[in-house]
Structure 1
Amino acid sequence: MAVPGHRRRGPAQGPRAVKRVLATLAAALSLAAGAQPQKTLRITLRVAETGFDPAKVTDFYSRSILAHILEAPYGYDPLATPYRIVPLTAAALPEVSADQKTWTVRLRPGIHFAADPAFGGQPRELVAADYVYSIKRFADPAVNSPGWKDVEALGLAGLKAYRAQLLQSKARFDYAQPIAGLQALDRHTLRFQLERPNPRFLFALASGDIFGAVAREVVEAHADDTMAHPVGTGPFVLKAWKRSARLVLERNPGYRERYYEAQPAAEDAAGQAILAQLQGRRLPMVDRVEVAVIEETQPRWLSFLQGDFDIVSVPEEFVPLALPHGRLAPNLARQGMQLHRSLGAETLLLVFNMDDPLVGGLNPQGVALRRAIGLGTDLATEFRAVRRGQAVPAQGFYFPHTSGFDPGFKSLQSEYDPAKAKGLLDTYGFADRDGDGWREDPQGQPLELEMLTQPTAFQRQLDEVFRKDLQALGLRVRFRSAKWAENLKASRSGGFQLWTVTEAAHTPDGLEALAIYHGPQAGGKNLARFQLPEMDALFEQIAVLPDGEQRAALMRRSERLAAALMPYKTKGRRIYNTLTGPRLVGFRSPVFQNNWWDVVDLKDPS
């Protein structure tokens, strides 16, 4: 029998050669018997993951993995625009009281967690108590969750008070302690009681990467390393993980029957075409996902061109080659690649540590220094020379595609005026007293700024532009380089002076953007550690108001305050140019949800 694909190279020599021939023959026989090879989706991360315990991670890259392992009660329609929330583990949309403080969710029976030794070899059904337990973990002082501030902001009745009681008494968290805001009424019914109305609480219930259910047995069985043992009810399971290098996820063999459904707009021709191709297909459609962490842009881009990956965000330095005049290059189009172009629901930020004695504080000198740095930041050069035109200035901090974003809003955040910046520095005592060309602080001490950075070629280009901007103002800066995860840890603990970071939307609610200015969330989303009673009051008002002109007016007020005091310099928004390879079917650039691997297919299994 001829073995397909086997070339004869002379007599086989030794046991290894025999084994290779037998393995090839077995593969051929398997194919002849009708067995199908695995469909493997291959993707890259540009920043390394940190781990997979939802109560312990906040970075986007880890959450993008978790979103495919864990499930919240609700999710997003993969094609609807601007968005549509649909039941996932829930049987239907929630029942909401007239005052929008009581939310009742009924789960679909018969959903099971992926198999794990912690379950003793028995199927483990998802029940309402699992969501109660999962959310309580954020409040447990022993977990020390960086996401607690996000949960606290939801206003679940009794949870914050119980945590405060434990912090004072040093007692252990009692997971059996009744919490009015988190109740399992029966095996499949959840009730959330809020301290204040929240018309948009549904968005939290659709965030599987944060509020996806975990099982207590699994957490306790792997208590020493919960970050390495994610077990959920989702479409994939983690099969292999080499930290900061490679991950492998495989289809959850016990995943329930779930089928592709979507409601694209009638005028959305591309969405309608995807629906026609995939409607009714059982999910997930791929068997395996291989994830490689490649932080440097050039090898990531070249690997995609060589066919090693199915999707890539075109690195800025390669935009002129891949997208001449904003259109996909003919050589790439001939290979069957497709361009997906979108404005990110995000803001590029320069973060100032407001606890730092030099750049922080609400005193006139601190405000003047921050505003001078903002005025002296040449965004046009950064966007043109480094980002190759793939970014636009941000007038305010609210994300595009979310409530609160006003395309007509104008502020000084994007103004570039070195002369005005120098005037501010002179006025508030930042002067060159010894004639060496560098300014001293108002007390006459040497002034050198320190900025966190990452060790990549692209980041070094950005740093060089910023260094020249400050040099033109007579300000020195040194860069402290570390991996992104280490910089995040330093920023959350307040161990930094300056850092550039991207804050992105995870829900359609603009309140998420305002959280970076919310005093109680300092050390969490509020990386600047900004504290201002007026801004906190605005946050509380905006949180409970329905969408409308009153809420929009308060949001505009918050943007004016932010621009005046500038704990963050809002720089811009990236234009994402995502290329998909010829095998990938059904991809739609996600805006809020970061779980899409289960709703795409591959043309040619490999």
Structure 2
Amino acid sequence: MLVKVKYWVIVCATFCISACQHEDQNTYGNTTSTVIDGKKIYRHSLDGKPTSLDPIKASTFYSNLLVVNIFDTLYSYEYLSRPYKLKPNLAQSMPEISTNGLVYTIKIKPGVQFHNHTAFTDGIGRELKAQDFIYSILRSFDPKNAATGAWLWQGKIAGLSEWKVLGADYDQPVAGLKALDDYTIQISLLKPYPQLIYSLAMGFSAITPREVVESLGAEFGSKPVGSGPFILDRFNSETAYLIRNENFRQEPLDIYAEGYNPTKHGSYGIETLQGKTPPFIDQLEVNFVDESSSRWQSFTKGNEIQYTTVPKDKQNTVLLSQDPIKLHPQIGDNYHHSYGMEAGFVYHGFDMTHPVFGNNGDPEHDVRSTALRCAIRKSHDWEQKNRAFYFGLGTVFPGIIPPSVPEFDPDMDTDSIQTDIEGAKKILANHQWTTNALPQFEYHVTGSVLHKQFFEQMRGFLNTIGYPNNRIEYHPYPSFGTFNKAIKNRQTPFFFLGWVLDYPDAENTLQLFYGPNQTPGSNNFNYNNPAYDALYEQSSVLQPSVERTALYQQMNQMVIDDCVVISGLARNKIHLWHKNVISFPDQAIVGGFHLRYVDVK
């Protein structure tokens, strides 16, 4: 997904020990039980808001976290296993795949009920059937829905494009999507698609009931009805309130099958969940707290939110040492914590359709615009950014294949992530980019104190290569939703984003640069390189192999050579949660799936 998935920033800054001694230790650890009148309540927090709770529009991390709790997907991920491993969710087992890799047959679990809604007979949720899956996939190809996840199956499932062209009639059959019976789905592909199963674990593929969607229309995005472990009770700009689905299928948790490791997970109380049936809590509150200081204050009060990441003005309180990572006792003793590299990265990108910064096919223009982008990239100081905003703990790497995927090349040349001021000035001079000729530079991002600091740093980088301040502009947006809309409308010549992987395969980042995925699809750069697209299409039908990895790395080098993106940094994240919470939080590939396994005491 774009998508899944997925844009967010871990709020951190430079490391310093000295202030640790001045914190009031009584501020931390005085947590209040959230078992109230026998009901278990867990209060989660996010640093942003969902743009929609309709699965076909679950293109951000925030939306997807809620979608996979309200709805069911055919597959999900083992709760604790790292590296990440797929498992059946609504499906009975992993799919049967034909020898040519083109036909997938999937049996779903019988007896699964949608949540109650007045659109159903007598208001009682009916049984979920194979045809509901087909309807849900078709919704992404209905032009009137403005869906954001069609890129996952576009040109891959037989008959979908024809169905769309012929009028998107849900009562007409589609060659590649069949319900063989009420509990058997058959998917036929135009060509092998090794990532298909991954796509069926994403919020975009979550299963929706047709009668409720048609009854609610556009309101379905704020009043969703699915078959997942939680039912949405109410939803506003600050909080989503969900209650336990009492009719959720009875499937006792086997922590060992989910990847439980006593050495890694033994201090979190997870062993007490063995054999119990999720979800374990009665009420789930997901709080949307944009400002990091407010989130920290709420977390440390002890009776409000129970999970957070670390805000930059509290890093002195949290970290005692960096190498190895060691938390200050008042944090480590009073809160649960986990630490690790994210499955994703942050980057700056150019819109390649921009009349100045992008390419237009004219050789002379394209040589100059590429030179300008490359010079800007050479001005960027990743080491300084890492120190200033990520505790110095981020992992800087070249290109678009992050360290979290098996195709990452640790020996790749690092020239694209090195600061080279003189080299940048030389490139500008050689291509007639004088001070007077430099174009207006617009820095587009969601508006916040943190992002203003990112801008100020970027402006400083540009100043070092001769970019005057009067040609550098800050373009903040009031919300991620409006920022994302501007990107999709090609109104952001230069932007700052983060990408969290939808699945553990470098294809998930490489598809961000595939020409046919241009906006409103996942290719926010609107990069269009026929040579790149040919390699992508060649690799897309291959199973994991040395051959496929070699193609991936060629594509990675193309994006680097074209200076499409300033990348990248994989954030090392510190999660904190109250000690009366039994959990192992994940903000990456498992994502919202982990919330069904949260318990409180």
Whether TM exceeds 0.5 here: the answer is: yes
Contact 2:400–2:568 at 8 Å: present in 1 too?
no
Q: Establish whether residue 417 from structure 1 lines up as the match of residue 399 from structure 2.
A: no
Aligned pairs for 1:108-257 (under 5 A) are 108-120=109-121, 121-152=123-154, 155-163=156-164, 165-166=165-166, 172-207=167-202, 209-243=203-237, 245-257=238-250
| Distance change >3 Å, CA 546–CA 330, structure 1 → 2 | same
Which is worse superposed, 266-275 or 399-408?
266-275
The DSSP-based 3-state class of the residue aligned with 1:62 is helix
Q: Which amino acid aligns with 2:310?
A: V
The Cα of 1:36 is off from its aligned counterpart by 4.8
| 2:380 corresponds to which of 372, 377, 385 | 377
The Cα of 1:316 is off from its aligned counterpart by 3.5
1: CA distance between counterparts of 2:313 and 2:515?
38
Q: Which amino acid aligns with 1:73?
A: L
Can you list the C-alpha shifts for 1:528-584, whole angstroms capped at 9, x where unaligned? 100011111111111111111101111110111010002111131111111111111
Q: Establish whether residue 366 from structure 1 lines up as the match of residue 369 from structure 2.
A: yes
The DSSP-based 3-state class of the residue aligned with 2:111 is coil
The DSSP-based 3-state class of the residue aligned with 1:157 is coil
Q: Which amino acid aligns with 1:211?
A: S
Question: What residue number does 2:481 align with?
Answer: 485
| 1:342 corresponds to which of 340, 365, 369 | 340
Instruction: Tell which has more relative contact order, 1 or 2 (C-alpha 8 A, sep 6+).
Output: 2
Question: What residue number does 2:516 align with?
Answer: 520
2: CA distance between counterparts of 1:504 and 1:429?
38
Question: What residue number does 1:436 align with?
Answer: none
Q: Which amino acid aligns with 2:107?
A: R
The DSSP-based 3-state class of the residue aligned with 1:339 is strand
* Structure 1 unaligned spans of 5+: 1-33, 167-171, 433-438, 442-446
Aligned pairs for 1:418-567 (under 5 A) are 418-432=421-435, 439-441=436-438, 447-475=439-467, 476-482=471-477, 483-523=479-519, 524-567=521-564
Contact 1:181–1:194 at 8 Å: present in 2 too?
yes
Greater C-alpha radius of gyration: 1
Q: Establish whether residue 280 from structure 1 lines up as the match of residue 272 from structure 2.
A: no
The DSSP-based 3-state class of the residue aligned with 2:574 is strand
2: CA distance between counterparts of 1:421 and 1:358?
18
Contact 2:317–2:331 at 8 Å: present in 1 too?
no
The Cα of 1:264 is off from its aligned counterpart by 5.4
The Cα of 1:276 is off from its aligned counterpart by 2.9
Contact 1:237–1:250 at 8 Å: present in 2 too?
yes
The Cα of 1:62 is off from its aligned counterpart by 0.9
Contact 2:394–2:572 at 8 Å: present in 1 too?
yes
Q: Establish whether residue 45 from structure 1 lines up as the match of residue 46 from structure 2.
A: yes
Which is worse superposed, 190-199 or 261-270?
261-270
The Cα of 1:45 is off from its aligned counterpart by 1.4
Contact 1:404–1:552 at 8 Å: present in 2 too?
yes
1: CA distance between counterparts of 2:261 and 2:225?
40
Question: What residue number does 1:392 align with?
Answer: 395
Q: Which amino acid aligns with 2:544?
A: D
Can you list the C-alpha shifts for 1:200-236, whole angstroms capped at 9, x where unaligned? 32112222x1111000011001013221121111000
Q: Which amino acid aligns with 1:145?
A: A
Question: What residue number does 2:8 align with?
Answer: none
2: CA distance between counterparts of 1:268 and 1:370?
49
| Distance change >3 Å, CA 91–CA 386, structure 1 → 2 | closer
Contact 2:445–2:495 at 8 Å: present in 1 too?
yes
% identity of equivalent residues: 27
2: CA distance between counterparts of 1:508 and 1:356?
32
Can you list the C-alpha shifts for 1:399-434, whole angstroms capped at 9, x where unaligned? 3332422223234321111111111111111103xx
The DSSP-based 3-state class of the residue aligned with 1:133 is helix
RMSD: 1.8
Q: Establish whether residue 97 from structure 1 lines up as the match of residue 98 from structure 2.
A: yes
Q: Establish whether residue 260 from structure 1 lines up as the match of residue 262 from structure 2.
A: no
Aligned pairs for 1:290-305 (under 5 A) are 290-305=285-300
The Cα of 1:186 is off from its aligned counterpart by 0.8
Contact 2:117–2:125 at 8 Å: present in 1 too?
no
Q: Establish whether residue 55 from structure 1 lines up as the match of residue 53 from structure 2.
A: no
The Cα of 1:302 is off from its aligned counterpart by 1.7
Contact 2:318–2:327 at 8 Å: present in 1 too?
yes
1: CA distance between counterparts of 2:94 and 2:128?
18
The Cα of 1:72 is off from its aligned counterpart by 1.0
2: CA distance between counterparts of 1:83 and 1:466?
35
2: CA distance between counterparts of 1:577 and 1:564?
34
The Cα of 1:265 is off from its aligned counterpart by 5.3
Q: Which amino acid aligns with 1:319?
A: Q
1: CA distance between counterparts of 2:458 and 2:356?
18
Contact 1:285–1:599 at 8 Å: present in 2 too?
yes
The DSSP-based 3-state class of the residue aligned with 2:550 is helix
| Distance change >3 Å, CA 35–CA 572, structure 1 → 2 | closer
2: CA distance between counterparts of 1:206 and 1:570?
27
The DSSP-based 3-state class of the residue aligned with 1:67 is helix
2: CA distance between counterparts of 1:264 and 1:62?
25
* Structure 2 unaligned spans of 5+: 1-34
2: CA distance between counterparts of 1:312 and 1:266?
23
The Cα of 1:394 is off from its aligned counterpart by 2.1
The DSSP-based 3-state class of the residue aligned with 2:225 is coil
1: CA distance between counterparts of 2:254 and 2:206?
21
1: CA distance between counterparts of 2:259 and 2:390?
33
2: CA distance between counterparts of 1:499 and 1:492?
12
Q: Which amino acid aligns with 2:48?
A: V
Question: What residue number does 2:332 align with?
Answer: 333
2: CA distance between counterparts of 1:271 and 1:548?
32
Q: Which amino acid aligns with 1:548?
A: S
Q: Which amino acid aligns with 1:383?
A: N
1: CA distance between counterparts of 2:532 and 2:312?
36
The DSSP-based 3-state class of the residue aligned with 1:152 is coil
The DSSP-based 3-state class of the residue aligned with 1:39 is strand
The DSSP-based 3-state class of the residue aligned with 2:170 is coil
The Cα of 1:275 is off from its aligned counterpart by 5.4
The DSSP-based 3-state class of the residue aligned with 2:39 is coil
The DSSP-based 3-state class of the residue aligned with 2:38 is coil
Q: Which amino acid aligns with 2:509?
A: A
The Cα of 1:319 is off from its aligned counterpart by 2.1
The Cα of 1:266 is off from its aligned counterpart by 7.9
Contact 1:386–1:461 at 8 Å: present in 2 too?
no
Q: Which amino acid aligns with 1:148?
A: A
The DSSP-based 3-state class of the residue aligned with 1:202 is helix
2: CA distance between counterparts of 1:390 and 1:515?
27
Q: Which amino acid aligns with 1:334?
A: D
Contact 2:345–2:568 at 8 Å: present in 1 too?
yes
Which is worse superposed, 126-135 or 587-596?
587-596
The Cα of 1:151 is off from its aligned counterpart by 2.6
Can you list the C-alpha shifts for 1:358-396, whole angstroms capped at 9, x where unaligned? 111161111111111110011211111233213221212
Contact 1:320–1:388 at 8 Å: present in 2 too?
no
Count of matched residue pairs: 549
Which is worse superposed, 127-136 or 540-549?
540-549
